[in-house]
Structure 1
Amino acid sequence: MKKVWVLVLVILWSCFSPNGLSDVSSTRPSSVNIGAILSFNSTIGRVAKVAIEAAVDDINSNQTILNGTHLNISVQDTKVSTGFLGIIESLLLMEKDTVAIIGPQYSVMAHVISHIANELQVPLLSFAATDPTLSSLQFPFFLRTTQSDQFQMAAVSEIVNYYQWRDVIAIFIDDDHGRNGIATLGDKLAEKRCKISYKAPLSPNNINGEEINSALVKVALMESRVIVLHIYPNIGLDVLHVAQTLGMMGNGYVWIATDWLSTILDTDPVGSSSHMNDIQGVITLRMYTPDSEKKRNFLSRWSNLTKVEKEGPLGLNTYGLYAYDTVWILAYALDEFFSSGGTLSFSNESSLNMLKGDRLNLNNVGVFNNGSLLLEKALKVNKTGLTGQMMFSSDVELVNPAYEVINVIGTGIRRIGYWSNSLGLHTGEKEEEEAPKPNHSKSSSEGLYGVIWPGQTTLTPRGWVFASNGRHLRIGVPLRISYHEFVSKIEGSEMFGGYCVEVFTAALDLLPYPVPYKFIPFGDGKTNPLNSELLHMITTGAFDAVVGDITITTNRTKIVDFTQPYIESGLVVVAPIRKLNSNAWAFLRPFTPMMWFVTGMFFFVVGAVVWILERRVNDDFRGPARRQFVTIIWFSFSTLFFAHMEQLSSPVKGIESLVTSNELIGILRGSFAENYLTEELNIMKSRLVPLNSPAEYEKALRDGPTNGGVAAVIDERAYMELFLATRCEFGVVGQEFTKMGWGFAFQRDSPLAIDVSTAILKLSENGDLQRIHDKWLTRSACSSEGAKQGIDRLELKSFWGLFLLCGIACLVALLCYVVRLAFRFSRHSGPNLEGPTSRSSRLRSFISFVNEKEEQEDKNKPRERGSCRKVVHEDDSQC
């Protein structure tokens, strides 16, 4: 009867319990087996072994996690980085019903073991496999619990871009870890218009000094002096030692080591001190872990944890911190796993039966049925550990990736800044515990602190030198048939001359290093070569640079790099200019609004002068006589104005009038003007007439559109200034409608383009650029206004005729006034003069007479003219 009641109670409890019978099966086990795959003789493996064992002990002694379930860990030594031993060790772990494996340590091994983990559904939690290609899509049971190399390479590329280097050399281990890391670096550099110019792979197995020496000798022959060293710690110092013996750790070189170097310096500070002379000035990275009380406590315990080490003192590196946190991530995941009803059950995998035999006993290897659930719980962990926040992003990477940037100086290291995924390079610490906000403001200053570079210099290296392999710079030069002032081949030699060539050679002379070069002509010498074809020769590698009258346009900057413009040369419109000599009937010609304004101003000034004159004289100019006088003066001066005025006129007023018309337009064959006019201004290509030389320009303009010529020619200002210097019947009409310039073209991302640009700026500052311009391009200008730019614009000198006429009008008025006074003086003083008088006395009398008249007129000013007319009949003298 008791058995019946017990059965009833069990059934009722299972029905009303929230989890039903699942709680019975989810009883936590007393222990759980986990494994670890390390290389005990490696820098990272030695530290990780101690950290993992310490984490297991801390978890087993902590009553707040796993609720009494004990972690049993089995650590396997793979000894080397090859995948074969990793396979054997992982299968040995699987025989023990292992629910998760911490590791493997090497990326090469992780690629292999991840396939086994996928089949057996056992999560791999690796604290040191940083290969970016270990993605969750290909390896769903691989979980990286450290920073991926995609972030480290992003930091390296940012450093390269910060110092404005463009080419780097990559030295790396030729395995999955090295190749994939450098491939990621290449992608990150490409985002910043930088590149890896040379790759030097090293063998991952049994590498010797001779192989390292051979690789570095080839590196020394390259142009780039920025070297990224992505290698394993056990051979990294050997590479730098050989570089020191070859003189590659001196001035001009830049060495950027990935975090393997900081790992060595942190793990074995005593042993690495003997190599300090080989690594002076090197920049390295270290995974950033924020300071915390938990981290400080663990550091204080570290010396006690490593007392049993037989190989001497063992420092704690960042991989040891991540190894410790990895065990805790697994413990948190197991705790949630058991709480949600997960069970430790395994089933045989039928595909493994074919592998059973005398040598490979796989009878005990089974599939972890709930491995996916355990992995899911691990991905949801959000705790704080020794390394900061332990939380995974949507792309299954740890959040808030960040690195310290370190400079090796003297007997130690100096932190010169930080890199974080949210802020880039900066000098102030960022609280990485908090996830970056979407609109996070940069509170830290950007950039890095000063660096002591190899050679004990604070001057930032240029990052490249001209190759010392004896190769000359191949410079393409167009063989022009016109405008030889810009580019021309010197007859009887292989040399070139002209404005563009002299500017280029002058810039090369200012470079702080020698640049051997060779001019290579381009073109058949019968027609002007197309600049687009010339630039294409750069992209194909036939030329390293192009010198000539190459206009910098947006489309061209997409395929080559240009230097600083050394001359401005926008497009202008040149048309025939007619000079109209006005005569008495010229007023019938239509004027521009500006000319009407000028004419009106002239008439106003003349009228004002006549009015003043009328006010100064008396009755003789009143009434009809006064109006006749004004009319005569007005007509006389207007006739004089038109008789001496020249008007410059052209049927073309500028680019606007050409766009709206249907007239033919001349352009230089091969010029960028054709594409600009058709694509930007929508002028039909059928209206454009390609011309080859200034002589063809002149003939086409003289003939005009009615005789098979053109209405105007559109070309660059630099050409047109030379054309107009000796052809006064043509002129520039309208405004310059593009703002462009000429530059020297180089291969994409060529560092030489930057140095030549700096040299051009120096030429401009010291006046040499203007001197070269005057030497080649200054010609005697036409005296006619028709050859001058801006004929439709009125300048101060355009009003010289008006100023002259105004001056004449004023002079005539003054003369009339003086004559009138002299006549009145002769009538007044004639009867009163007795006997002979001297000239001086007559002059004094005349001045006295003028003063009396002025005083008399001043007295009469307040009187109204109307009152004077009333009194005039009574006493004429009162007026």
Structure 2
Amino acid sequence: MEAMFVIGLADKAHVPILTISEMSPSLLSLHSSYLFQIEQQDYYLAQVEAISAIVQAFGWKEVVPVYVNNGYGEVLIASLTNSLQKSYIRVPYLSAIDFSATDDAIQKELYKLMTMQTRVFVVHMTPRVASRFFAITKEIGMMDEGYVWIVTAAIANLFNSLDSSFMGSMEAALAIAVEKLDSTLFGFITNVRNGSNNVTDLENFGISRNGEKLREALSNVKFNGVGGDEFKLVGGGELEASSSSPFEIVNVIGNSERNIGFWTPQEGLIRNLDAKNSSVTAKGIIRGIIWPGDSFSVPKGWEIPTNGKKLRIGVPVKDNGLSEFVKVIHDHATNSTKVTGFCIDVFNAVVEALPYALPFELIPFENSSDDDEMAGTYDELITQVYYGKFDAVVGDTTITANRSMFVDFTLPYTESGVTMVVPVRDNRKKNAWAFLKPLTWDLWVTIFCTFLFIGFVVWVLEHRINIDFTGPLLYQIGTSLWFSFSTMVFSHQERVESNCGRFVVIIWIFVVQILVQSYTASLTSLLTVEQLRPAITDVHHLLKNRLNVGYLKGSFVHEMLKDLGFHENQLKIYKSAEECNELFTKGSANGGIDAAFDEVPYVLHLLGTYCSKYAMVEPRFQTGGFGFVFPKGSPLVGDISRAILNVSEGGQMRKFENAWLNRSSCEDSNNNNAAKVSSSASLGLESFWGLFLVVGVSCLIALIICLATFIYDNKQILSNHNNSSIRRRVGKLLKTFTEKDLSAHTLKRRDSCVTSCPATSAPSASTPCPPISPSSNTDSSFSGILDAHHQHKPAAQEPSAAITVTGIQQIKPHRSL
């Protein structure tokens, strides 16, 4: 209002008005031709960006602006609030002080600020109000260690006004404009009306003789300012905007000030104007600062409220169930309360990991009439933080989306999710046909068919050149099947003569060895290793058969089960792991349960208590896990979350789990035991189809080579057109294929061996005799040898013929030869 009045007088008297401080939009809207604003048009925006950069650089998360409650203060504070919020810096409170506030009113507002956690304040006031404000601030102790005060240029320029050289430079600006005027034109043209001689009468206010020329002269002033920028006024009496105008940051120490750095729109925070640094942190950029209380350590920006109370932390009461997480013990003799448990140990370790002390007291959330009964649900306990009854909640409180709308949670300190737990049963195969279970039926059928195929292939490759595969049809079939199936236990005795046959048998024996080893390992696992499998693996099975399920008393899981489709009469409540076990023992038929739904930490505790009796099964419904609860915007959330990570990474969390939740006693047997076992332990065809493919390709190649060689060797049969049709020739070729190849070297070697071996001696190393199969009794070669032998006997030795024959029978080799 004062500025508006003065601007109005200037317009009447034609006297230029120069302002070197901020101008609110309401004053600029007057459009006075005699008002010259010696501040840049973007001054407001640039200043709030500089302040926001300082707050960001020191890592402060909350700021409280303190300003004069009029148009002068409101304009900058609105811009400052927007800038801070864009940088994710909270503004929990706006402290507005009336322009005409008394010292008592200012003191009352300061005491209110002292009860808050925030310790970073941005002050934007007129110098007259600021002088009283800071005097009272120092008097009540708010200039002690831990506080941070940032003042805007409106107050900072007050310190610069004491510098005579600065004032001199401002006056010399004005002088350049005055020198261009005629010195004889100073004075006013009086405007006396109605014969009044009252000089204070605004109606008689005079008009400056050279006001118009002075205004014109000021409009044309150009010079280089202190910062090196050109001083030039543009249309409307405003200073031309400069993108390089810096803000100086000073540290006020007593009655003096000390430069610690600058802020520019291009470089941000820098130590010197000629320095180039793109870093966004204050360390190493701004010179060392002496903080309130003569401290050199950067304040963390918040403190526990100085109202003489510790942090009030609410804890749930477990109703004598699952007390491993939180346990409240009342000693009526000493009228004291002790709180222990897994969650409490974790919180104590987290507080110890903080870089500062955090005094607190644990307050059970219980009924006044019954110490062992909780005063409400977990949602109601968390609501107490929202309404300010508790400063935090520590316990087995689950992070959910609905709860996070009213409070802030730290990072979770337990595994997250809600899962189903069911009894397990031993699925070790104890029936008479357990030996068939290691392999699936499709694999058994494939193996059997492959044995038949291998027997056929070996017969095709060997029957014409190998005496072991000759003889009557049934004998040949039996020998081929015997050879094929005996490879399963590596007991085959028939020799393989052809190269193609040897190639096929080598490949097949390699495959058989893998199959046998796999079968042995799988059978051993099924018969000796404990196979615990869930009794129920599907939620739909529970719904379809209307089986009962259980949940922990007071848990949000109740609503989740209703959403899944369970009726209220299917839901059973338990308070502890022991009660849950009793319900499982009864079963749905006797008023018990067949499954329970609970959060993972509770389920792990149940598995640790009853080793190998229960198992977790999928699906798992995602939740946030257990977290500590704080009010919205609490600065403790970030520090506590970082401390939780330190405790978790340091191994302390595992120690607490073993001590309270029985995690170590059943680690081997649980370890997510049957919950994550595959649906079938049998080996299937999908694991071996590559081996069968190799066998098939090998056999096909061998058959192609064998048949191609046979056709080539007997091509005269097909090429003989004399008195024979194609059908006859093909039939003859097939008949030839079923007969022995007497020209084969393998059959000749056997004949020569039998002929050369003495009748009364065994084969020697120099004349090895291959074994003769029983089928040799029907072999024509062998008969021929006997005939030849009789033809060369002397007539006088007729009685010895039986001896000779007997001798031949004696040299008939055993299989081992």
Q: TM-score, normalised by structure 1?
A: 0.54
Equivalent in the alignment of 1:535? 382
Does the Cα contact within 8 Å between 2:245 and 2:264 map onto a contact in 1?
A: yes
Paired position in structure 2 for 1:260: 154
Rate the CA distance shift 1:267–1:701 in 2: closer, same or farther, 3 A.
same
- Checking the alignment, whether the CA contact within 8 Å between 1:478 and 1:529 is kept in structure 2 is no
Relative contact order, CA 8 A, sep 6+: which one is greater? 2
Task: Return the alpha-carbon distance in structure 2 between the equivalents of residues 598 and 793 of structure 1.
Answer: 27
Cα deviation 1:72-123 (Å, max 9, x = unaligned): xxxxxxxxxxx25x4544443444689x976696758x74x678x4xxx756
Amino acid at match of 1:470: G
Q: Which residue of 2 aligns with 1:3?
A: none
Tell me if structure 2 keeps the 8 A contact 1:531–1:670.
yes
Give the 5 Å matches for 1:784-803: 789-794=672-677
Q: Establish whether residue 611 from structure 1 lines up as the match of residue 487 from structure 2.
A: yes
1:650 to 531, 534, 543: 534
* Residue 193 of structure 1: how far off its partner (Å): 5.0
Indicate how the Cα distance of structure 1 residues 769 and 107 shifts in structure 2: closer, same or farther if over 3 A, else same: same
Tell me, yes or no, if structure 1 residue 468 matches structure 2 residue 301. Answer: no
Is the CA contact (8 Å cut-off) linking 1:559 and 1:748 kept in structure 2?
yes
**Aligned 8 A contact 1:168 1:224 in 2:** yes
**Aligned equivalent of 1:453:** 289
Contact 1:416 1:451 in 2 (8 A): yes
Instruction: Work out the CA distance in 1 between the residues paired with 2:435 and 2:626.
Output: 47
What residue number does 2:409 align with?
562
Aligned partners of 2:548 and 2:572 also within 8 Å: no
AA matched with 1:683: L
Cα displacement (A) at 1:543: 1.2
Q: State the 1:719 CA deviation.
A: 0.4
Distance verdict in 2 for CA 1:739–1:182, change over 3 Å? same
Mapped to 1, the partners of 2:130 and 2:518 lie a distance apart of 98
Q: Tell me the equivalent position of 2:123.
A: 229
Structure-1 separation of matches of 2:251 and 2:582? 72
Deviates more, 1:701-710 or 1:160-169: 701-710
Correspondent of 1:152 among 47, 53, 58: 47
C-alpha displacement of 1:547? 0.7
> Structure 1 540/701 Cα, relative in aligned 2: closer, same or farther at 3 Å?
same
**How far apart are 1:656 and its partner, in Å?**
8.2
Q: Deviations over 1:471-490 (max 9, x none)?
A: 22121111222211101210
2:272, 2:484 → 1: CA distance? 76
The answer to whether 1:485 aligns with 2:324 is yes
Give distance in 2, aligned partners of 1:254 and 1:782. 54
Correspondence list, 1:490-529, <5 A:
490-492=329-331, 493-524=336-367, 525-526=372-373, 529=376
Instruction: Note the C-alpha offset of 1:172.
Output: 3.3
**Equivalent residue letter for 1:253:** Y
Instruction: Name the residue aligned to 1:163.
Output: 58
Matched-pair contact (CA < 8 Å) for 1:95–1:362: no
Partner SS state of residue 575, structure 1: strand
Match of 1:178 in 2: 73
Separation in structure 1 between the aligned mates of residue 244 and residue 633 of structure 2, nearest angstrom:
29
For structure 1, the 5+ residue unaligned runs are 1-82, 129-143, 271-302, 307-312, 328-356, 366-377, 379-383, 432-441, 620-629, 800-855
Residue 595 (structure 2) aligns with: 712
Q: Which residue of 1 aligns with 2:734?
A: none
* Alignment pair present for 1:418 and 2:418: no
Report the Cα offset of residue 707 of structure 1: 5.7
Alignment of 1:779-858 (within 5 A): 781=665, 789-794=672-677
Name the SS of the counterpart of 2:603 in structure 1.
helix
From 579, 583, 598, the counterpart of 2:426: 579
Extract unaligned runs of 5+ from structure 2: 178-197, 207-218, 220-224, 451-482, 496-512, 683-763, 786-810
Partner amino acid for 2:162? D
Residue 127 in structure 1 maps to residue 21 in structure 2: no
Aligned residues: 597
User: 1:250, 1:454 within 8 Å by CA — same for their partners in 2?
Assistant: no
Do structure 1's residue 683 and structure 2's residue 600 form an aligned pair?
A: no
SS of the equivalent of 1:543 reads coil
Q: What per-residue deviation string (whole Å, max 9, x for no partner) do you get for residues 550-600 of structure 1?
A: 12234433432222322223222211223245334455999997x998999
Q: Which residue of 1 aligns with 2:755?
A: none
Distance 1:696 1:427 in 2: 68
Q: Counterpart in 2 of 1:58?
A: none
Q: Distance in 1 between matches of 2:133 and 2:108?
A: 11
Give the Å deviation of 1:225.
2.7
Q: 1:684 to 1:193 in 2, by over 3 A?
A: farther
Distance between the aligned counterparts of 1:423 and 1:565, measured in 2? 39
Q: Tell whether the 8 Å contact from 1:528 to 1:669 is kept in structure 2 after alignment.
A: no
Provide closer, same or farther for how the CA distance between residues 650 and 663 of structure 1 changes in structure 2, counting only shifts above 3 A: same
* In structure 1, C-alpha distance between the alignment counterparts of 2:583 and 2:439, rounded to whole Å: 28
Paired position in structure 2 for 1:552: 399
**3-state secondary structure, aligned to 1:734:** strand
Q: 1:540 to 1:638 in 2, by over 3 A?
A: closer
Alpha-carbon distance in structure 1 between the residues aligned to 2:127 and 2:348: 47
* Alignment check: 8 A CA contact 1:233 1:263 kept: no
Per-residue Cα deviation, 1:159-187 (whole angstroms, up to 9, x for no partner) = 33443323334443344323554455445
Q: Secondary structure at the match of 1:518?
A: strand
CA spacing shift, 1:584–1:465, aligned 2, 3 Å = closer
Taking structure 1 as reference, are residues 717 and 397 closer, same or farther at Cα in structure 2, changes over 3 Å only? farther
CA contact (8 A) 2:62 2:91 kept: yes
Of the candidates 92, 97, 106, which is equivalent to residue 9 of structure 2? 92
The structure-2 alpha-carbon separation of the partners of 1:485 and 1:104, relative to structure 1 and needing over 3 Å to count, comes to same
- Find the counterpart in structure 2 of residue 821 from structure 1: none
State the Cα distance separating 1:778 from its structure 2 match.
Answer: 1.8
Does the CA-based 8 Å contact 2:327-2:341 persist in structure 1? yes
Residue pairs, 1:40-51, within 5 angstroms: none
Contact 2:229 2:245 (C-alpha < 8 Å) held by counterparts:
no
CA contact (8 A) 2:270 2:277 kept: no
CA displacement at 1:673 relative to structure 2: 3.7
Counterpart in the other structure of 1:721: 604
Cα shift at 1:747: 1.0
Query: Partner amino acid for 1:716?
Result: E
Q: In structure 2, how many angstroms separate the alpha carbons of the residues matched to 1:324 and 1:562?
A: 63
Pairing of 1:350-499 with structure 2 (within 5 A): 386=229, 404=247, 406-408=249-251, 413-414=258-259, 416=261, 418=263, 420=265, 444-448=278-282, 449-455=285-291, 459-481=297-319, 482-492=321-331, 493-499=336-342
1:476 counterpart letter in structure 2? G
Look up the SS of the partner of 1:508 in the other structure: helix
Q: Give the superposition deviation at 1:535.
A: 1.8
**Post-superposition offset of 1:773:** 2.5
What SS does the aligned partner of 2:346 have?
helix
Kept in 1, the 8 Å contact 2:260–2:287? The answer is no
Match of 1:6 in 2: none
| 1:257 CA displacement | 1.6
Q: How far apart, in 1, do the equivalents of 2:148 and 2:34 lie? A: 37
Counterpart CA distance in 2 for 1:615 and 1:735 is: 50
Identity of aligned residues (%): 24
Q: Which amino acid aligns with 1:564?
A: L
Q: Is the 8 A contact 1:474 1:518 kept in 2?
A: yes
Quote how far apart the aligned CAs of 1:259 are: 1.5
Q: Quick check: 1:474–1:544 contact (8 Å CA) kept in 2?
A: yes
Normalising to structure 2: TM-score of the pair?
A: 0.57
Note if contact 2:148-2:301 (Cα within 8 Å) is conserved in structure 1.
yes
Work out which of the residue numbers 737, 741, 748 in structure 1 matches 2:632.
748
Tell me if structure 2 keeps the 8 A contact 1:153–1:185. yes
Q: Deviations over 1:212-268 (max 9, x none)?
A: 778767655654332322223456567657766776556433221212354245443
Kindly tell me: are residues 588 and 146 of structure 1, through their superposed partners in 2, closer, same or farther at Cα, counting changes over 3 Å? same
